[in-house]
Amino acid sequence: MHASIKLMLSGILAFAAVQTRAQDIKIGVAGPITGPLAFLGQHIKWGGELAADEINQKGGVLGRKLVFLMQDSACRPADGVASAEKLLSQDRVDVMLGDVCSGSTIAIMPVMEKAQKPFIVTISTHPDITSKSGAGGNKWVFRTVAHDGMIAEVVAERMKGFKSIAIVGEDTDYGRGAARLMKERLPASVKIVSEDYLKQTETDFLPVLTRIRASKPDALATYVLDQQASNLMKQYQQFGLTIPLVGRPPLGSGVVSEQVASGKFDGSWTVYPYFDKFAEPKNQAFTRAYVQRYKQPPHYAGWGVYEGVQTYADAVRRAGTTDPEKVRDALARSDFDAILGPMRFDANQQARTRMMFIVVDKGAATVKELVAVK
């Protein structure tokens, strides 16, 4: 009872202020405003508002203003569904963007199908979202980021050099799912010494690290999000471990930048859909605007939502209307220059986007390679 009342009240506090008019185009998102991932919710809001404001300054879409509305999901499926239903029925949003956590995004998908409104997934990476979309059944769902299956291909291939690895992940659809996909593709020569999945709110990694210190694997495959990674890396240093973190540690996140800068994680690497230090003009223009406004570089979540809003605005422009059916058809035919390259969707309405192979060297994370989808 305690947590849910807090959730409710903080939701009211945070969003009572947004004013909308009937002719505005409303973009809804369910994301974590409370809970350990609240700072990702902050980036969602920032990314979405930046995109909407940039578009509005140029006269909006079809002469109408974009409005960005957010509800708290705390990254939990049940709260995600409740938020989506509220946004659809009370705020009457024209489109929804996906949550951070795949579990919540997957739970919202049938709600969108029933409401017959487009749903653009911009952060969640669970492969089921793709396999259930477009040709897979739910024609309303589009995804602009690479999914875990695509990323696992790249990760598993780069694991070849290791004899043994340990896995640590969050106990969610993302952590367990992404680790399983990597394991399925892992060369037979790599032995898995241990697997641990911790609840998303866990901060103490002592037992896991104690075991890893004794079992001495060649690498630690890491499937946790930013805040847990920060706690993990802090305690990792206390243990004096030098085993590289590989797989999907969020090495590009601002939350772990101090740990990365310590030089103790040199040799660690990750494959991520996005990293703000990616040096191409379109991305640099985006990060500059973001930093100027919010005083910190965009997180992957902020970039994702920014691209999502742009993708929707592009489709509405081409459709010449916000009629959901027509916008959906326009989305399916998307082909514009997004930050990571051309935005085009396949039969499952999955963007064939690029991924970033990020390596830590001399205390700095850099994009070593842009990996194209096979």
Partner 1 sequence: MATDPVFLAQLAANGFSVGLGYALAAVGLALIFGILGQVNFAHGELYMLGAFLLFWAMKQLGLPYGIAAVLMAALMAGFGALLAHVVIVPNLDRGFESVVLGTLAVGIILQNAVRLGFGATPLDVASPLESQAFEIGGVLLFGQRMLVCATFLAAFSGLYAFLRYSEIGRAMRAMAQNREACVMVGIDVRRVTRWTGALAAALTGLAGVVISPLFDLYPNMGTEVVIKSFAVVIIGGMGNIWGAAIAGVALGLAESYAGGLGNAAIRDGIAFIVMIAMLLARPQGLFGRTVRV
Q: Which residues bind partner 1 (CB under 8 A)?
A: 2-3, 5-6, 9-10, 13, 33-36, 38-39, 41-42, 171, 194-199, 201-204, 206-208, 210-211, 213-215, 226-227, 230-231, 234-235, 237-240, 254-255, 258, 296
Q: Which is nearer to partner 1, 275 or 357 (CB)?
A: 275
CB of residue 248 to partner 1, shortest distance in Å: 17
Tokens representing 192? 């898995």
**Are 271 and 358 spatial neighbours (Cβ–Cβ below 8 Å)?**
yes
Closest alpha carbon to 151 in 369, 355, 340, 367: 355
CB of residue 236 to partner 1, shortest distance in Å: 11
Q: Which is nearer to partner 1, 43 or 328 (CB)?
A: 43
Element (H, E) at 56: helix 38-57
CB of residue 308 to partner 1, shortest distance in Å: 20
C-alpha span between 217 and 192 (Å, rounded): 8
- DSSP 3-state assignment of 259? helix
- Residue 149, class by beta-carbon neighbours within 10 Å (0-12 exposed, 13-18 middle, 19+ buried)? buried
CB of residue 358 to partner 1, shortest distance in Å: 20
Q: Which is nearer to partner 1, 35 or 77 (CB)?
A: 35
CB of residue 198 to partner 1, shortest distance in Å: 4
Please work out, in degrees rounded to the nearest 5, the angle formed at the alpha carbon of residue 109 by the alpha carbons of 106 and 113. Answer: 165
Q: Which is nearer to partner 1, 134 or 302 (CB)?
A: 302
Q: Which is nearer to partner 1, 111 or 209 (CB)?
A: 209
- DSSP 3-state assignment of 343? strand
Distance of CA 220 to the CA centre of its chain: 22
Q: Which is nearer to partner 1, 197 or 336 (CB)?
A: 197
C-alpha span between 46 and 40 (Å, rounded): 10
C-alpha span between 143 and 120 (Å, rounded): 6
CB of residue 30 to partner 1, shortest distance in Å: 16
CB of residue 197 to partner 1, shortest distance in Å: 6
CB of residue 361 to partner 1, shortest distance in Å: 22
Neighbours of 372 (CB within 10 A): 10
Q: Which is nearer to partner 1, 140 or 174 (CB)?
A: 174
Q: Which is nearer to partner 1, 188 or 214 (CB)?
A: 214
The shares of helix, strand and coil residues in the chain, as percent rounded to the nearest 5, are 45, 20, 35
Neighbours of 243 (CB within 10 A): 18
